[in-house]
Structure 1
Amino acid sequence: MKKLLISLALSVVFCSEIIVPRNLLNTAYAQRKPIPPYAKWGVFAMKKTKEKYPKAQIIDYLHIGRISGPTTSTEKFKLWLKENGKEFGVFIDIEFNNQTEQVKKVTLKETPK
């Protein structure tokens, strides 16, 4: 009887790995992370970058931070692009009204690093 319980317990452990692999559990956990407040500005930054560099592929993305002012704030990003075998960075600043979130100014600056 004891051997039967041990083998049953082992089969449950091994079968649970087959039924729900650990990498799926990690993926499910990753999907529960809260969406950061700058996410919508990151999407906007990628859109504006694609408008200026339509043939380039965005290969990396960094949120640098936010500069908050009394009436406007600026979200700062750095995107890494690849085009025709050349890689380069683009700094993008998005200034917006704090109350309405209306975009006031978008600045893109290319950098080799």
Structure 2
Amino acid sequence: MKKLLVCLMILFGFNSAYLPQLHHVADAQQKPTPPYAKWSKVAMEKTKEKYPNAQVVDYLYVGRKNGDTTSTEKFKLWLKENQKEFGVYVDIEFIKETEQVVNVTYTETAR
């Protein structure tokens, strides 16, 4: 098997010059964890508590709203319950200093 692989590499001109390029491709696929990842998990958990019979089909990070002492992370989750699909905007307000959740609000949407 090794001989076959070596023959194919020689036949198609593969050499070590390609190895650094392959290394960079692997690095490009590893993305850093976004700062809102923790809040995505909270949004999913809280939404599953509020809609226990629904499946989360998709989600979108909308953004952050900063206040003086609190911040609000905003998400849109797409849910499916029975044959009905609908969106839910989830806003998670938390104290900036401690990251303690103050309030979670849900706004349903058909779009």
Same fold per superposition (TM over 0.5)? yes
User: Which sections of structure 2, spanning at least 5 residues, go unmatched?
Assistant: 1-6, 15-21
The TM-score normalised by the length of structure 2 is: 0.77
Matches of 1:105 and 1:35, distance apart in 2: 24
- Matched residue type, 1:39: A
User: Which sections of structure 1, spanning at least 5 residues, go unmatched?
Assistant: 1-5, 14-21
**How many pairs are equivalent?**
98
Matches of 1:62 and 1:52, distance apart in 2: 18
Matches of 1:94 and 1:28, distance apart in 2: 33
Report the Cα offset of residue 10 of structure 1: 2.6
User: Which residue pairs with 1:37 in the alignment?
Assistant: 35
Identical pairs, percent: 59
Matches of 1:10 and 1:102, distance apart in 2: 61
Q: What pairs up with 1:1-113 in 2 under 5 angstroms? A: 9-10=10-11, 13=14, 29-30=28-29, 32-113=30-111
Report the Cα offset of residue 110 of structure 1: 1.1
The TM-score normalised by the length of structure 1 is: 0.76
Residue 27 to residue 108, structure 1, CA distance change in 2 (3 Å): farther
TM superposition outliers: structure 1 runs of 4+ over 6 Å: 25-28
The one-character-per-residue Cα deviations of 1:81-108 (angstroms, maximum 9, x if unpaired) are 0011110000000000110000011101
Matches of 1:7 and 1:89, distance apart in 2: 52
- CA-atom RMSD in angstroms: 2.7
Report the Cα offset of residue 7 of structure 1: 6.2
- Matched residue type, 1:10: L
SS at match of 2:78: strand
